[in-house]
């Protein structure tokens, strides 16, 4: 029996001796990027107590950390993270990594290259995961995207004990606001960095602010008033048709753009039709609704032009997620393939608008 206990103790000591000491980097050492306002908001996208006119559901969704990220340089051979979200629940059309996890990129000469992910604990709000290890001990700049569909409560990084660490802040060429539905929010990308606002941000070096509010992008004037407080905006993208009824599209589009023009009189505004939802391939009610949404949206765009509004641009839904019916996870929300197809159409349009 004594021999057995001695063997157990020796085994424990051996395993402990293999654990390397690490530095803990608290989130307070990093600059949260990817949001519209500079106030210290924790990991929320906006100060939800400041904008009383926002619907309660919209306020809650703006506590999600969609589109937020940090950047830093380190020569650590290993990068780990522990974090906590408000809850551990998952939607039935999303991946845990997209909803509650992180993904990391490393800056190379030709842009950002994917490095690894942090997979969340499926049962607990607290998680810990090694994003990437066994790297060369050369200094690299990392970009770390936050969870898309949860309120992030806390996080801290772990790097090698003697590794260097320098927080960085990205310098962008333009600032773009993207207001929209769950598709903007990021459903159903496989990981945070593959939501289409994030992909466009990396593609054109723009500060693309994710204002997706899943299921609740209904063009309330309170949202336009909140957007009006955002400074130095180069482009506003409205990808909100999927959440509006055809009647709401008619009733709210003109007033929403009119409100935006109070603070952004010359800022280009790109209006994007609802994607052609594949759930409507055989569901005639869905097909009819989507058709009416886009018809009404185009009519309101033309009414705005007739009223003398300038710098308005319109993008039809044709081919946005492809024509082979393989671009969504559930007939509505794009897969990574669907998002890539959207980016190939939306990004060139954005680049042309910004050139003008």
Question: Could you please report the per-residue DSSP string of 247-268?
Answer: HHHHHHHHHHHHHHHHH-SS--
| Burial of 186 (C-beta count, 10 Å sphere; 0-12/13-18/19+) | buried
β-bridge mates for residue 127, sequence order: 83
List pLDDT tens digits, range 97-137: 999 999 999 999 999 999 999 999 999 999 999 999 999 99
Q: Are 310 and 276 in contact (CB under 8 A)?
A: no
Residue found under tokens 């906006």:
46
Per the structure block, which two tokens stand in for 297? 């949206």
Return the H-helix or E-strand segment holding 349: helix 336-355
Q: Are 346 and 315 in contact (CB under 8 A)?
A: yes
Report d(CA 56, CA 77) in Å as an integer: 44
Return the H-helix or E-strand segment holding 72: strand 69-74
Please report, to the nearest 10 degrees, the dihedral formed by the alpha carbons of residues 97, 102, 108, 110 taken in order.
50
Write down the pLDDT at residue 22: 93
* CATH class held by domain 21-168: mainly beta
Q: Are strands 269-272 and 312-315 parallel, antiparallel or unpaired?
A: parallel
Per the structure block, which two tokens stand in for 78? 């290993």
- The DSSP letter of residue 45 is S
Report d(CA 90, CA 265) in Å as an integer: 41
Write down the pLDDT at residue 11: 47
Q: Are 191 and 95 in contact (CB under 8 A)?
A: yes
* CATH class held by domain 174-355: alpha beta
Q: Give the DSSP per-residue string, 263-300.
A: H-SS--EEEEPPP--GGGGT-HHHHHHHHHHHHHHHHH
List pLDDT tens digits, range 37-76: 988 788 999 998 899 899 999 999 999 999 999 999 999 9
Report d(CA 2, CA 143) in Å as an integer: 52
Return the H-helix or E-strand segment holding 23: strand 22-26
Q: Are 67 and 208 in contact (CB under 8 A)?
A: yes
Write down the pLDDT at residue 5: 47
In sequence order, which residues have a C-beta less than 8 Å from that of residue 11 and are 6 or more positions away?
none
3-state secondary structure of 171: coil
Report d(CA 84, CA 240) in Å as an integer: 30
In sequence order, which residues have a C-beta less than 8 Å from that of residue 350 and are 6 or more positions away?
176, 200, 204, 206, 235, 237, 270
Residue span(s) of the chain under CATH 2.60.120.260 come to 21-168
Q: Which of 138, 100, 105 is nearest to 119 (CA)?
A: 100
Report d(CA 267, CA 341) in Å as an integer: 26
Intervals of the chain under pLDDT 70: 1-20
Q: Are 142 and 163 in contact (CB under 8 A)?
A: no
Residue span(s) of the chain under CATH 3.40.50.1110 come to 174-355
Return the H-helix or E-strand segment holding 8: helix 2-17
Write down the pLDDT at residue 38: 86
Write down the pLDDT at residue 278: 86
Write down the pLDDT at residue 41: 81
The span from the first CA to the last CA of the chain, in angstroms, equals: 82
Handedness of CA 45, 48, 53, 56 (dihedral sign): positive
């Amino acid at each position: 029996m004594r021999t057995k206990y001695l063997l157990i103790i020796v085994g424990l000591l051996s395993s402990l001796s293999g654990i390397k000491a690490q530095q803990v980097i608290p989130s307070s050492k990093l600059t949260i990027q990817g949001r519209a306002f500079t106030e210290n908001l924790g990991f929320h996208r906006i100060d939800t107590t400041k904008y009383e006119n926002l619907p309660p559901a919209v306020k809650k969704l703006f506590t999600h950390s969609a589109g937020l990220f940090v950047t830093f340089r380190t020569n650590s051979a290993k990068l780990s993270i522990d974090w906590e979200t408000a809850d551990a629940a998952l939607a039935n059309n999303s991946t845990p990594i997209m909803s509650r996890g992180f993904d990391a990129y490393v800056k190379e000469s030709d842009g950002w290259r994917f490095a690894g992910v942090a997979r969340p604990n499926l049962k607990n709000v607290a998680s810990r995961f090694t994003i990437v290890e066994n790297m060369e001990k050369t200094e690299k700049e990392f970009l770390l995207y936050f969870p898309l569909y949860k309120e992030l409560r806390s996080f801290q990084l772990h790097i090698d004990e003697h590794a260097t660490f320098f927080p960085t802040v990205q310098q962008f060429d333009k600032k773009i606001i993207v207001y929209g539905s769950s598709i903007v929010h990021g459903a159903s990308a496989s990981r945070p960095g593959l939501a289409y606002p994030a992909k466009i941000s990396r593609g054109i070096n723009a500060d693309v602010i994710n204002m997706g509010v899943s299921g609740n992008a209904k063009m309330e004037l309170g949202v336009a008033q909140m957007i009006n407080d955002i400074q130095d905006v180069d482009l506003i993208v409205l990808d909100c048709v999927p959440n509006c009824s055809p009647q709401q599209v008619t009733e709210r589009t003109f007033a929403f753009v009119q409100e935006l023009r109070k603070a952004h009189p010359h800022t280009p505004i790109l209006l994007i039709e609802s994607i052609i939802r594949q759930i409507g391939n055989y569901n005639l009610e869905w097909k009819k609704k989507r058709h009416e949404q886009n018809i009404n949206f185009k009519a309101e765009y033309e009414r705005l032009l007739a009223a003398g509004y300038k710098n308005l641009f319109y993008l039809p839904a044709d081919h946005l997620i492809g024509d082979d019916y393989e671009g969504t996870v559930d007939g509505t929300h794009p897969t990574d393939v669907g998002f890539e197809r959207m980016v190939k159409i939306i990004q060139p349009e954005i680049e042309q608008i910004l050139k003008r």
